[in-house]
Structure 1
Amino acid sequence: MSFDLPADVILPVRNVSVRLDPAPHPFGVANEEAIAQHWQRAVADNPALFNGEVALLSSLRIDNGDLLGRCHIVRYATFLYWRSLRPISGAGHAYTHAMLVSAENALVAIRMGPSTINAGLVYFAAGSFEPVDFRDGRADLEFNMHREVGEETGIDLSGVRHEDRYHLLSKTTGTVLFRRYFLDRPADELAEEIRRHVAAEDDPEIEGPVIIRDPNDMPDRLAAQMPGLIDWHFSTPREA
């Protein structure tokens, strides 16, 4: 098992191959009792938590510009226990960000809702890889991004122009794989669409949209990965 990524540096990625291992994650097997106890405490604090299935990594590394990884499906309880200990050897987390870019080059992020584990945090609509996000045993990044953005914001990314290449940023909180999507509408219009989607949901995951118009326009409670991504966006020209 290995996690061999430079920390706090944004890097381009040529190819991504994160494979699903059907075996139980060794971290979950070794910590079964502690996971159950931690979950009982977590649910007592937040009864809205759901013990669904997510992917937890057992290895992740860069090899000549390719990102190679192995993951296992675990219960959310296992992920939360890992999160309470991170960083630890042998287990890690990767997720995606579709960076929504408006017609005037503003970023459109979201603030998480009060019933979620990340209540109040600001980042781009995202979620952990779930079993549905794998194709032939390999993580489908685009499907995951489109699914999460659609579920949380109501915005359909099908056919939206985007950069072909992914970039990554690895931090102790996890590794984010991201690329920009260029929408041909103003940020205020996109934000209003998101608000309508949230208002129509019985139990929305997010509180609402957050518009970031320049690198000095930093909202409060940014997730750990966000300052680096914001600076990168406003200092990096669009790919041709």
Structure 2
Amino acid sequence: MFTVHHVAALDLAFKPMDWPFATERAAEIAQHFARLKQVKPAIWNGRILQCRNRRIEDRVYRADYFETDFAAFMAWRDWNAAANGVSHCFGGGALRSADGAFVLGTMADHTANAGRVYFPAGTPEPGDIVAGRVDLAASVAREITEETGLEVTDYVVEDGWAVVEGPRFSACYQPLRAHLPAAALVEKINAFLRRETQPELSEIIAVRNLDDLPASAPEFVRAFLADAFARREGA
């Protein structure tokens, strides 16, 4: 169901368009989001970016992004609405400790994906648009800091991207190697979470093999890790 592509770079263009799903079903979308807010009052309807025209050319992953709102995205996702060429393409930090463990987090109860285990990641926003391109590297750096408290000086950005592609979305993972070993890295992040009033993550998990990965991790995360561990063993 998921394919992992290893590419040298991303080339993501911002090409505004009117999304028929969002305009034609606006009333239903508003009702759906109102119901979501009753359960998760902390979620808010900010502006986000969706994408289309995903493709790989010369080891570069390319896509075209347009602006919509979070409510439309959530309805599209929750209803499993017809894709019609639209997909959700986000960036994440594949954070790895100095001694080789991947570090992931469990989403807190107040978030839209409560209980799921992910790498630090987030939906791109209009602020990620720079000179007509979508800068997912900036999005990744922002999400790492917001979710874990780590700054860019706490890790090294390694070359390339691993793109986990499914029928309706792409998870674009940037490899990050932390300076600290797993135990110290987990404690550093946990200390940050304890200082936060409403942290996005509730638990930090170090994963050295697939047996360490909780069942609450989605299949695309498992697909990425299975590929990463296989590549490590084949190196």
- Alpha-carbon offset, residue 172 of structure 1: 4.0
Residue matched to 2:177: 182
Structure 2 counterpart of 1:40, which letter?
A
- Alpha-carbon offset, residue 185 of structure 1: 1.2
1:137-176 Cα deviation digits (max 9, x unpaired): 2111211111000000001124732321112111245211
**Closer/same/farther in 2, CA of residues 193 and 138 from structure 1, 3 Å limit:** same
Q: Tell me the SS of whatever aligns to 1:54.
A: strand
Residue matched to 2:151: 156
Structure 1: gaps (5+ residues): 1-6
1:73-127 Cα deviation digits (max 9, x unpaired): 2111011011113352232101112111112111110110000110010010110
Is the contact between residue 107 and residue 115 of structure 2 (CA under 8 Å) also seen in structure 1?
A: yes
| Aligned match for 1:171, one of 166, 172, 185 | 166
Flag the structure with higher helix content. 2
**Mean Cα displacement is larger for which, 63-72 or 209-218?**
63-72
- Alpha-carbon offset, residue 208 of structure 1: 2.3
| Aligned match for 1:52, one of 42, 46, 66 | 46
| Aligned match for 1:70, one of 35, 39, 64 | 64
Using the alignment, how far apart are the partners of 2:104 and 2:67 within structure 1? 28
Using the alignment, how far apart are the partners of 1:212 and 1:9 within structure 2? 21
Structure 1 counterpart of 2:104, which letter?
A
Residue matched to 2:192: 197
**Mean Cα displacement is larger for which, 135-144 or 18-27?**
18-27
| Aligned match for 1:82, one of 76, 82, 93 | 76
| Aligned match for 1:19, one of 10, 13, 17 | 13
Structure 1 counterpart of 2:31, which letter?
Q
Question: TM-score when scaled to structure 2?
Answer: 0.91
Is the contact between residue 82 and residue 91 of structure 1 (CA under 8 Å) also seen in structure 2?
A: no
Using the alignment, how far apart are the partners of 1:148 and 1:206 within structure 2? 12
Residue matched to 2:114: 119
Structure 1 counterpart of 2:148, which letter?
T
1:213-232 Cα deviation digits (max 9, x unpaired): 22322223002211111112
1:158-203 Cα deviation digits (max 9, x unpaired): 4732321112111245211113211221111111111111111111
Structure 2: gaps (5+ residues): none
Instruction: Please report the RMSD computed on the Cα atoms of aligned residues, expressed in angstroms.
Output: 2.0
Q: Tell me the SS of whatever aligns to 2:152.
A: coil
**Mean Cα displacement is larger for which, 52-61 or 81-90?**
81-90
Residue matched to 1:107: 102
Residue matched to 1:92: 87
**Closer/same/farther in 2, CA of residues 154 and 118 from structure 1, 3 Å limit:** same
- Alpha-carbon offset, residue 133 of structure 1: 1.3
| Aligned match for 1:31, one of 25, 28, 47 | 25
Is the contact between residue 150 and residue 156 of structure 1 (CA under 8 Å) also seen in structure 2?
A: yes
